[in-house]
Amino acid sequence: MTHSSSGPPADVAVVDVHDERALRAWWEVVAAVEADRPTAPFPDWPVARTRLVAPHPSAEVVLHVARRDGEVVGAARTSVLLDENPHLGLPGVWVAAHHRRSGVGSALLRTGEAWAVERGRTVLLTEVPSALGATAPGVPFAQVHGYDVAGTNTVRAADLRATEPTWSALDDRVASAGSDATVQVFVGAPPAPYDARLCALLDRFVDEIPLGDVALEGAAWTPELVRTRIAAQEAAGRTRLTVLALGADGSPAGFADATLSPASPRLAEVGGTLVHPQHRGRRLGLALKLTLHRELRARWPGCQVVRTENAEVNAAMAHVNDQLGYVAVETTRDLQKRLSPPSGGSD
């Protein structure tokens, strides 16, 4: 089949997530494009289907497909968050390998961008993964569409079974640092009073992590928002494990969390790790992640790999991860486009 890059490159249509055939066709394109990524982060069909049809109380999401001669050749997912970052639109585009460089990706991206702009979004942000030391096609593609690299992150992965024998030596390192903090572990939303203490840490999180130029703002965390987010994850088949560290006086000292699908627990993904500035320098970051790894292994023996993503400049977190046996597996770049304000506005 030959394709011309002139004229309308493909028909773009919204996917009804309750139309199983249409949803499956969307998933097949994305799964094929994502198949070679280390740690295989894109979920299998049963897990993906549950996730894609689950309601999103905190986000509005649209899926698109691009068809040529009736064949689905590209897919897109665009979302906007409803209770934080009201300026952001989050597009993502995948095009089947044999249909690239003929305008399919551009048609999908333009459709997703227009959808986000209709919802008042003024900054568009997308994440492009690349193999280590390489630059994937998504980077020049986004740049040609007006996006700039706003941040570079390293994805690291730890093999739980292979690293388990090192954990007792790490316990000794933690003990020798003399922190008086204790840790609590929660599956799902922590109950009161731990929920408010977790919120105090989450409120600091976006301000404390190196973000580069990414226009991400912190949410105003409340116990209710934490419960809503975790309930939405559970409805999507995902379970969150949180490790919370408390100082001797009960004050919040740090947290680490990870999410996995109990129906397919192979891969756990770290959401965040933070040690309160007053508690730094006493190996609490190591203690939190060590507990996280142990608990994942104990509660879901099928959990083999933990995946985490940190800004390239985040040396402290990289040092903790090195000790736990994480190895770099890929690079992700945050590509961001700031839209010019609508013309005719006053200043």
Ligand X SMILES: CC(C)(COP(=O)(O)OP(=O)(O)OC[C@H]1O[C@@H](n2cnc3c(N)ncnc32)[C@H](O)[C@@H]1OP(=O)(O)O)[C@@H](O)C(=O)NCCC(=O)NCCS
**137 to 166: interface string for ligand X, x by CB under 6 A:** xx-xxx-x----------------------
Residue 236 contacts residue 55 (beta carbons within 8 Å) = no
Beta bridge partners of 183: 245
Q: Token digits for 257?
A: 């969390």
Q: Is 36 helix (H, G, I), strand (E, B) or coil?
A: coil
| Choices 87-95, 308-316, 322-330, 337-345 (CB under 6 A): range interacting with ligand X | 87-95
Give exposure, 265-281, as e/b (b: 16+ Cβ within 10 Å): bebbbbbbbbbbeebee
Query: Please, which of residues 104-133 interact with ligand X by CB under 6 A?
Result: 104-106, 126, 128
The verdict on 245 binding ligand X (CB under 6 A) reads: no
CB of 68 or CB of 229, closer to ligand X? 68
| Choices 85-93, 168-176, 200-208, 246-254 (CB under 6 A): range interacting with ligand X | 85-93
Q: How far is the CB of 106 from ligand X (least distance, A)?
A: 3
Q: What is the largest CA-CA distance in the chain?
A: 69
Q: How far is the CB of 100 from ligand X (least distance, A)?
A: 3
Q: How far is the CB of 12 from ligand X (least distance, A)?
A: 12
DSSP readout, 88-140? EEEEEEEE-GGG-SSSHHHHHHHHHHHHHHHTT--EEEEEEEEETT---THHH
Q: How far is the CB of 266 from ligand X (least distance, A)?
A: 22
CB of 128 or CB of 329, closer to ligand X? 128
CB of 42 or CB of 167, closer to ligand X? 42
CB of 46 or CB of 140, closer to ligand X? 140
> Could you report how far apart the first and last alpha carbons of the chain are, in Å?
52
Q: How far is the CB of 260 from ligand X (least distance, A)?
A: 24
Residue 130 contacts residue 152 (beta carbons within 8 Å) = no
- How many whole angstroms separate alpha carbon 117 and alpha carbon 146? 15
Residue with tokens 């590509």: 335
| Choices 100-108, 193-201, 281-289, 290-298 (CB under 6 A): range interacting with ligand X | 100-108
- How many whole angstroms separate alpha carbon 48 and alpha carbon 82? 22
CB of 72 or CB of 93, closer to ligand X? 93
Q: How far is the CB of 279 from ligand X (least distance, A)?
A: 38
- How many whole angstroms separate alpha carbon 165 and alpha carbon 148? 43
CB of 99 or CB of 276, closer to ligand X? 99
DSSP-H helix ranges across 280-326: 284-299, 315-323
CB of 57 or CB of 140, closer to ligand X? 140
Query: Please, which of residues 161-200 interact with ligand X by CB under 6 A?
Result: none
DSSP readout, 199-235? HHHHHHHHHHS--TT---------HHHHHHHHHHHHH
**23 to 42: interface string for ligand X, x by CB under 6 A:** ----------x---------
Q: How far is the CB of 8 from ligand X (least distance, A)?
A: 12
The verdict on 85 binding ligand X (CB under 6 A) reads: no
Size of the site for ligand X (CB under 6 A): 22
The verdict on 93 binding ligand X (CB under 6 A) reads: yes
CB of 137 or CB of 218, closer to ligand X? 137
Applying CB under 6 A, among 25, 47, 54, 136 the residue interacting with ligand X is 136
Residue with tokens 């959808």: 115
Give exposure, 27-52, as e/b (b: 16+ Cβ within 10 Å): bebbbebeeeebbebbbeeebbbbbb
- Residues at the interface with ligand X (CB under 6 A): 33, 91-95, 100-106, 126, 128, 136-138, 140-142, 144
